């Protein structure tokens, strides 16, 4: 079954032809997806440093990661963890799309890798060196390892991509917004292929302390896998995480010329600002609802066309309630019939990479007609009373999926992906 979209004129169609990921539950996209569908948590006690003394001692770390084998080991040591995550996810994405960047196509291939923080870990390490041993003993590669644009820069450099290049830094909306902006780049003809998503690796003492003093983290240290509890009445905060996900987006014309496999179509993209508070969401959810409506309008869809929502769902008391209110504003009574799940229940909150990972999950849900569960949802909350897919995965044909990303500072970014039906917009509107 296909959906009837309003005529979008001559707007270029953008499709997803590849993907890659590094997460707390898998070192590639398919392993991550299998474990998410099985309801496996990646949250453990922090191993990258000793978290003793902090009220929260847990995170969703990427375990067993080694730098991509195509990198010279010496060069890899000059890169920060979030750069390496981005390179690995890009390598996977290009391979799954069957794309090789060559002298002939390099000018038409672009990159946007979003991040919320950049390399906070490098910042922490080199500040310790400066204060303990003096500034001239710092790593000479400190600046290029730290800068937030360097994940994008390294991807372009390592793979020879000479097209449109940018970095989105909108905190926890960065990954989703990067994909939305990349789709717009293709629509306006500034690129034929874009690699887009997010990368984050800020599980370090400075990051943990920062969130602890904000009282934003779960303190359920005695049972880490149960700590991230989106929409549950007993939720007590988010769980920090790391990881990356990159999608290959292409104009439909480019994908067809290559004979590429198309996993999904980017139907809509909406952005708004709460204009309210630096860390808290607008309680009534109106800012988030505005972004959802804009994404629907951009897609030419009605709320009734959306079969599934991948929520921002962080596990914070205020955030989950505000998102639930926003969904109700947009979907009305249908809100109670649309499955809503939270990927963060298993992999924590990967900040600038979160929206990209969740966009990937939305694409794979469309591909496999399957929705992963929201784990740890045990006690209903009157303020969060939708269908959060508790306990186990659910089989469901999906025509269109909405992916929500909301952030500190009130940034809201919403993506809508659809099942690719192969028809032209003209045939839809004339049919």
Catalytic residues: 172, 312, 349
- CA angle, residues 238, 239, 243, in degrees to nearest 5: 125
Q: Could you tell me if 244 and 353 are in contact, meaning their C-beta atoms sit under 8 angstroms apart?
A: yes
Task: With CA atoms as reference, report the closest residue to 62 among 83, 79, 49, 46.
Answer: 46
**Chain centroid offset of residue 234 CA:** 25
Q: Return the DSSP state at 89.
A: H
Element (DSSP H or E) covering residue 152: helix 150-159
Element (DSSP H or E) covering residue 308: strand 308-310
Q: How far apart (Å, rounded) are the C-alpha atoms in residues 281 and 40?
A: 29
Write out the E strands in 149-229: 165-166, 193-200
Element (DSSP H or E) covering residue 179: helix 174-187
Task: With CA atoms as reference, report the closest residue to 206 among 147, 122, 93, 135.
Answer: 122
Question: CA dihedral in degrees (24, 29, 34, 40; nearest 10)?
Answer: 10
Which residue(s) pair with 193 in the sheet? 109, 250
Question: 106: which 2 tokens?
Answer: 């390099």
Q: How far apart (Å, rounded) are the C-alpha atoms in residues 172 and 174?
A: 6
Task: Tell me the three state secondary structure of residue 195.
Answer: strand
Which residue(s) pair with 20 in the sheet? 246
Q: How far apart (Å, rounded) are the C-alpha atoms in residues 167 and 111?
A: 8
Q: How far apart (Å, rounded) are the C-alpha atoms in residues 280 and 274?
A: 10
Which residue(s) pair with 312 in the sheet? none
Question: 391: which 2 tokens?
Answer: 């306990």
Residue 152: count of CB within 10 angstroms of its CB: 27
Task: With CA atoms as reference, report the closest residue to 242 among 74, 410, 403, 118.
Answer: 118
Q: How far apart (Å, rounded) are the C-alpha atoms in residues 147 and 135?
A: 18
């Amino acid at each position: 079954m296909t959906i009837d979209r309003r005529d979008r004129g001559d707007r270029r169609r953008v499709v997803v032809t590849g993907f890659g990921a590094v997460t707390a539950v898998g070192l590639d996209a398919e392993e991550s997806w299998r474990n998410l569908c099985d309801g496996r948590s990646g949250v453990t006690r922090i191993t990258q440093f000793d978290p003793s003394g902090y009220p929260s001692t847990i995170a969703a770390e990427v375990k067993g990661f080694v730098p991509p084998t195509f990198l010279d080991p010496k060069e890899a040591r000059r890169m920060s963890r979030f750069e390496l995550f981005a390179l690995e996810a890009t390598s996977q994405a290009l391979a799954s799309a069957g794309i090789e960047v060559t002298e002939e196509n390099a000018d038409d291939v672009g990159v946007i890798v979003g991040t919320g923080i950049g390399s906070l870990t490098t910042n922490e390490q080199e500040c310790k060196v400066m204060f303990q041993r003096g500034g001239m003993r710092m790593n000479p590669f400190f600046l290029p390892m730290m800068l937030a644009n360097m994940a994008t820069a390294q991807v372009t450099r390592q793979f020879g991509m000479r097209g449109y290049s940018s970095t989105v830094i909108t905190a926890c909306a960065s990954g989703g917004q990067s994909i939305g902006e990349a789709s717009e780049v293709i629509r306006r003809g500034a690129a034929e292929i874009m690699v887009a998503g997010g990368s984050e690796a800020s599980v370090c003492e400075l990051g943990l302390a920062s969130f602890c003093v904000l009282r934003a983290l779960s303190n359920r240290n005695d049972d880490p896998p149960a700590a991230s509890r989106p929409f549950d009445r007993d939720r007590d905060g988010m769980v920090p995480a790391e990881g990356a996900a990159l999608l290959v987006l292409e104009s439909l014309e480019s994908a067809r010329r290559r004979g590429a496999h198309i996993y999904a179509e980017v139907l809509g993209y909406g952005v708004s600002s709460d204009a309210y508070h630096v860390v808290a969401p607008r309680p009534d959810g109106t800012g988030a609802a505005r972004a959802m409506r804009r994404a629907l309008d951009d897609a030419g869809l009605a709320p009734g066309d959306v079969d599934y929502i991948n929520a921002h769902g962080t596990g914070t008391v205020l955030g989950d309630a505000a998102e639930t209110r926003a969904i109700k504003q947009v979907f009305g009574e249908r809100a109670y019939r649309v499955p809503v799940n939270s990927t963060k229940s298993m992999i924590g909150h990967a900040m600038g990479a979160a929206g990209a990972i969740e966009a990937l999950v939305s694409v794979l849900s469309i591909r496999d007609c399957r929705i992963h569960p929201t784990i740890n949802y045990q006690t209903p909350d009157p303020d969060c009373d939708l269908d959060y897919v508790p306990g186990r995965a659910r089989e469901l044909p999906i025509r269109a999926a909405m992916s929500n990303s909301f952030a500190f500072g009130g940034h809201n970014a919403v993506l809508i992906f659809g099942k690719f039906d192969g028809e032209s917009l003209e045939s839809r509107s004339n049919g």
